[in-house]
Structure formats: C-alpha cells, structure tokens
Structure 1
Amino acid sequence: MTRLPNLMVAPNGARLTKADHPALPMTLPEIVVTARDCQAAGADGLHLHLRDAGGGHLLDAGAYREAVQELNAQVPDMAIQITTEAVGKYDPPHQRQVALQSGAMSVSASIRELCRDTEDVTRGFYTECAAQGIAIQHILYDRADGDLLCQTLPSGLLNSSDLQLLFVLGRYAADQNSDPHDLDDFMDWLGVHDLSPDWAVCAFGQNETASLVYAAKLGGKCRVGFENARVHADGRKALNNAERVIAVRDAIKHQ
C-alpha cells in the first residue's frame, strides 16, 4: 500500500462554505488551484471533498473519478485521498460503493459510520479494499472507535504495517477546539493493542498547530487545513490553506 503523505491538506470539508472563509475552495477548479498552492507550500497530499451544484456535500463515484483524474494531471506528485464522510446524507452501502468504484487508491472512512451495517458486511468491505489495493485510512474520533476497529477489522489487516489511521482531536469538544494531549489516549490505545500503524492527526480550532507539532514529535503525520481550522496559533485568521500549510510546516521544522 502507498504510505500516508507526511503533510496532507484538507482544504474544505463537507459542511463549510465561503461564509466561513472566502478562500474556502468549493468547485473543482478552485480545489485544483488550492492543491497547486498547497503543494508549493509543502503539502504532499490532499484530502478531497466534492460539492454538488448547490454547494452541498457530494459522494459520487463518477464525480470523484473525474476529480481525481484532473488532480493527478494538475498536481501529479500529490497524493489524492477521497472521503466517504456521510454527513447524515449517505448510508454505508453508498459509502462502500463510492470507495470501491471511484478509482481512488486512497480513501478516508469512519469506522463508526461504516459499522452502522453488520460487522461481517463491514469486514468484507475492508477485505475487498485490501484485495484491490485501496488504502483505507480509518478515522477514529475516540478510543471507543479504536476498540470497534479492533473488533471489526480482520486480524491480518489490523496488525499490518499498512494499517492507516487518522486520530481526530477536538471534534466533539464544546468549542471544537483541540488540545495536543488529546492524542495521549490514542497513543495508550496503540500500546495496549501493540499496533504500529501508519498514523496521522487532524486537530480542530486554534490549537491545530500545537497539536500537529506534538503529533510529529511522537512520530505521526499531519493533516492541516480549513476543514479543521482557519486560524493560526496566535488566533489570526489565515489568508488561505497554503498559509496554514506553511505555518504547520515551519512549526514542525523548528520544534
């Protein structure tokens, strides 16, 4: 499996609009421009969300296929990862279909969302992705999600060095802001289960930079961008996604 990028940008997410930040990319041409700028700033991967004609969250295998092809042509050295996030609109069969039929080789998926279906169906999906060489980065919002992953994932995939995880910090805090030490419980969970995955962190709010620096110190990779935070560590509003990439890149470099 292809390894996770060291510094992935998540430029838009599923829910935000230009009312949240005027530089938030929503159309594919805007995403392409953002991808170029973020690649030049030091990002080596992009977490891709698409929108429908009305600006709403879209999971569509055909639209993803076209977008991934365009991004591969425009930023050929940048890893492209699609999302299967439900956002209350999509059910697990649709999420699985998108993951398997979009042509993307890197997919982000929440274990708690997919496990709305039965364990054997979800386990079969993960097995099929592995057989097709599709790398699933499992989104874990808390330790309970990790335990659910251990219960659901076939042991060969769970204990593989190809296992990809994303630890989400701060999403369900009252103000959505993260704390670097939110990561500690995930690190303890890894130790308890003797897992050595390819892992990354995303972190919400003004503490995004501090949280990603802490993750990098512990050997993790980082996902930065407007999906999770639109401000710098000092509270200043970021001009664009590339500026956030530079801020985190430099903070990690000088830690």
Structure 2
Amino acid sequence: MAVFSSPLLITVAPNGAYKQRPDHPALPLTTSELGQTAKQCLEAGAGMIHMHIRDADGRHSLDVTGYREAQQAVKAAVGDELIIQVTSEAARVYKAPEQIAMVTVLKPEAVSVGLREVDQPEIGEAGLEHFFGWLAKERIMTQVIVYDVADLQRWQALRAKGVIPDAPWSLLFVLGRYSVGQTSEAKDLLPFVMAHTGAEPWSMCAFGAGEHACATTAVALGGHARVGFENNLLLNNGQVAPDNAALVRQIADSARVLGRSLYSAKQAREAFFSA
C-alpha cells in the first residue's frame, strides 16, 4: 500500500448553480441548510466547502450580501473548521467584470475562479495581472478552474509571461464538463496530470456516476478531490446518495484504503495558502 506524505483535502460542493429541490430533497439551498450540510460534511471528512448561493427565486447568485449571510451560517455551524470557498461562476448569468467585482468587494477567505471565464477580451492580460495580483496581495485562497488541457496550458503561459504572479495558487481539473451527457471517467484525469508541469497542488471534480472512481484515482495519484451534489447525486453503487455527507464519506474511505490521511481546515490553510 502506498504511503503519502501529503494528506488529502476533500472539498464538498453541495449545491452548484443549477440543481433544484426536485433533483434531490436534501439539496441545500438556504443559508440554514448550508450550515447543516457543512456540519455533516465536516464530520464525514471534508476540509473545505465550495459554496454557491441562490436568490429568492432559487437562481444562481453572486450577491455579496447573500454570500455574507451564507458565510455566517456556515461559521455558526462549524466555526473555522471548514475553509469556505465561494464560487465566482458565471453560470450564464454574469460577465467577467461582475465576477471580479464580487470577489474584490466580498474579500472571501477562499474563491474558485474559472480561468476561461475571466480571461476575456474586456479584461485583457492587464486586467488579469491586476486581479490576480490583488488576490495574491490579499492572500485570498484562490483555486483556478481549468476545463481541459488547453485551459491548463493557457494558465501556464500566463504564469510564464509574469501576468500571473508567484503565489500559492491551486488548480481544479474538471473532468467531463464538455463530454456527451456530461459523464466522466477516471482516464479523463490523465491528460491533465501529464500536462501539469507546475508546482500548484491540484484537485479534481467529475460529473455523474463516475465521480467516485475519478476521485479515487486522484487520491491514488497524489491529488485532491471535490465531490458533492453540484455534479453528482449517486453513490458508487449507483444508488441515490441520501446527502452530500455520504459522498464525502465514500472518498474518505478510499483515502484510508490508499494510505492517505485527511487534511483538517487548519492544516490545509497552512499547507496550501501560507507559502
């Protein structure tokens, strides 16, 4: 059995931008539900929560006040024992300037940023340099989302040109986002891993019933994993998961089998973001 010196960071993505209550009765949409889910997932082994919020009609929102209320609810439930990572996802609602403006006003502890969403003509490389420079200066725990190898290579090129400054960035490899039926297989991870030449720690997320196999492969390859109802509602056996915590528990079990301990939020802050 392999023994890893680096623990595993499990991130739970409990709701996403699109799913609604008919998709699953335990989908957390309100701030109180997010708090309850955070507590359950912490107990199951998560060290970070990837958080979306909704407006009054249940639609994707980047409202700063709404985010602050959700952050307060999660902190009330778990204190500092989970890293709260907010999404800046466009979700066909927002444009890059609005996404960047939300992050700069909110100043969250952690944020995910889709590279292709902010790498837009209206932002330009000068705008990217300013935004990522600000993120580094403010020590925002930033995870950069890449959907394919071309995205990863674009990130590497921006780093090489000095547009993106040196800072403790991390990456999220998204598997299957643009595949037929949005399905993922473990082999989808390999092109990312082979093309990743930098020092940034990486995580993966995957769509559909292959999520657990993909996450377990990431654990075996020394990466980190994001699981949850945002992308998948099914357990590894094909049954509908009762809640997000069940999906977290599955990958925590895989980590134990593969000889990897789990990062606490405190440990992950020190390892990922304090360089």
Under TM normalisation by the shorter chain, which class is it?
A: over 0.9
- 1:50 aligns with 53
Deviation at 1:210, TM superposition (A): 0.7
- 2:230 aligns with 227
Deviation at 1:34, TM superposition (A): 0.6
Number of equivalenced pairs: 250
Distance in 1 between residues matched to 2:254 and 2:55, nearest whole Å: 35
Distance in 1 between residues matched to 2:8 and 2:236, nearest whole Å: 23
Q: 1:210-252 CA distances to partner (integer Å, 9 max, x unpaired)? A: 1011001111111110001100122111111011111121123
Distance 1:126 1:231, change over 3 A: same
Structure 1 residue runs of 5 or longer lacking an equivalent are none
Counterpart of 2:82, as a letter, is M
Deviation at 1:58, TM superposition (A): 0.3
Counterpart of 1:18, as a letter, is R
Distance in 2 between residues matched to 1:147 and 1:120, nearest whole Å: 19
Distance in 1 between residues matched to 2:163 and 2:9, nearest whole Å: 22
Deviation at 1:5, TM superposition (A): 7.3
SS at match of 1:40: helix
Query: Equivalences for 1:167-178 in 2 at 5 Å?
Result: 167-178=173-184
8 Å Cα contact 2:35-2:75 kept in structure 1? no
Confirm whether residue 151 of structure 1 aligns to residue 157 of structure 2: yes
- 1:93 aligns with 97
SS at match of 2:204: strand
Deviation at 1:8, TM superposition (A): 0.7
Counterpart of 1:176, as a letter, is Q
Higher relative contact order (CA 8 A, sep 6+): 2
Aligned partner (choices 175, 180, 200) of residue 186 of structure 2: 180
> What's the C-alpha RMSD, in Å, of the aligned pairs?
2.0
Confirm whether residue 205 of structure 1 aligns to residue 208 of structure 2: yes
Confirm whether residue 138 of structure 1 aligns to residue 144 of structure 2: yes
SS at match of 2:208: coil
8 Å Cα contact 2:62-2:99 kept in structure 1? yes
Distance 1:56 1:5, change over 3 A: farther
8 Å Cα contact 1:157-1:163 kept in structure 2? no
Distance in 1 between residues matched to 2:184 and 2:66, nearest whole Å: 33
8 Å Cα contact 2:205-2:226 kept in structure 1? yes
Aligned partner (choices 112, 119, 131) of residue 116 of structure 2: 112
Between stretches 169-178 and 146-155, larger displacement belongs to 146-155
Deviation at 1:100, TM superposition (A): 1.4
Distance in 2 between residues matched to 1:93 and 1:161, nearest whole Å: 22
Distance 1:251 1:115, change over 3 A: same
8 Å Cα contact 2:15-2:229 kept in structure 1? yes
SS at match of 2:17: coil
SS at match of 1:235: coil
Confirm whether residue 238 of structure 1 aligns to residue 232 of structure 2: no
- 2:106 aligns with 102
- 2:127 aligns with 121
* Identity value in percent: 38
- 2:24 aligns with 21
Distance in 2 between residues matched to 1:146 and 1:243, nearest whole Å: 31
Distance 1:59 1:136, change over 3 A: same
Confirm whether residue 30 of structure 1 aligns to residue 33 of structure 2: yes
8 Å Cα contact 1:11-1:34 kept in structure 2? yes
